[in-house]
Amino acid sequence: MSEKPVYLTRPHLPPLEDFLPYLQEIWDSRQLTNGGPFHQKFEQALAEYLGVPYISLFANGTLALITALQGLRITGEVITTPYSFVATTHALHWNGIKPVFADIRGDTCNLDEEKIEAAITPQTTAILPVHCYGNPCAAERIQKIADTYGLKVIYDAAHAFGVTENGRSVLDYGDLSILSFHATKTFNTFEGGAIVCHDSKLKQRIDYLKNFGFADETTVVAPGINGKMNEFQAALGLLQLQHIDSAIAKRQQVDQRYREALQGLPGITCLPIPAGVRQNYSYFPILVDGRYPLSRDGLYQKFRDRNILVRRYFYPLISDLTMYRSLPSATPANLPTAQDIAAKVMCLPIYPDIDEADLQNIIDCLVR
DSSP 288-303: E-TTSSS-HHHHHHHH
pLDDT at 323 over 70: yes
State whether 362 and 230 are in the same domain. no
pLDDT at 127 over 70: yes
344 with 284, same domain? yes
- If pLDDT is split at 50, 70 and 90, which confidence band does 347 have? very high
196 with 304, same domain: the answer is no
Q: Is residue 2 part of a domain?
A: no
On the question of pLDDT at 62 being above 60, the answer is yes
The answer for residues whose C-beta is within 8 angstroms of residue 83's C-beta and 6 or more apart is: 104, 109, 130, 132, 314, 317, 318, 338, 341, 342
Question: Of the residues 224, 240, 256, which one is the last residue of a structural domain?
Answer: 240
Compute the average pLDDT of residues 213-223.
Answer: 96
- The per-residue pLDDT for 230 is 98
In a domain, 68, yes or no: yes
Domain limits at 218?
A: 16-240
Question: 85: part of which helix (H) or strand (E)?
Answer: none
Q: Show Cβ contacts of residue 101 under 8 Å, excluding neighbours closer than 6 positions.
A: 79, 80, 81, 82, 119, 318, 319, 324, 327, 329, 330, 334, 335, 338
Q: How far apart, in whole angstroms, are the C-alpha atoms of residue 27 and residue 24?
A: 5
CB atoms within 10 A of CB 114: 13
Q: What are phi and psi of 288, to 5 degrees?
A: -110, 115
- pLDDT of 242-268, one tens digit each? 999 999 999 999 999 999 999 999 999
Same domain, 232 and 267: no
Give the pLDDT confidence score for residue 1 in this predicted structure.
52
CATH code of 341's domain: 3.90.1150.10
Least confident of 15-19, 72-76, 316-320: 15-19
CATH number at residue 69: 3.40.640.10
Q: How many domains does the chain have?
A: 2
Work out the percent of the chain whose per-residue pLDDT is above 90.
Answer: 97
Kindly report the pTM of this predicted structure.
0.97
Based on the domain organization, do 208 and 111 belong to the same domain? yes
Say whether both 30 and 141 belong to one domain: yes
**Does residue 138 surpass a pLDDT of 60?**
yes
In a domain, 5, yes or no: no
* 301 lies in the same domain as 226: no
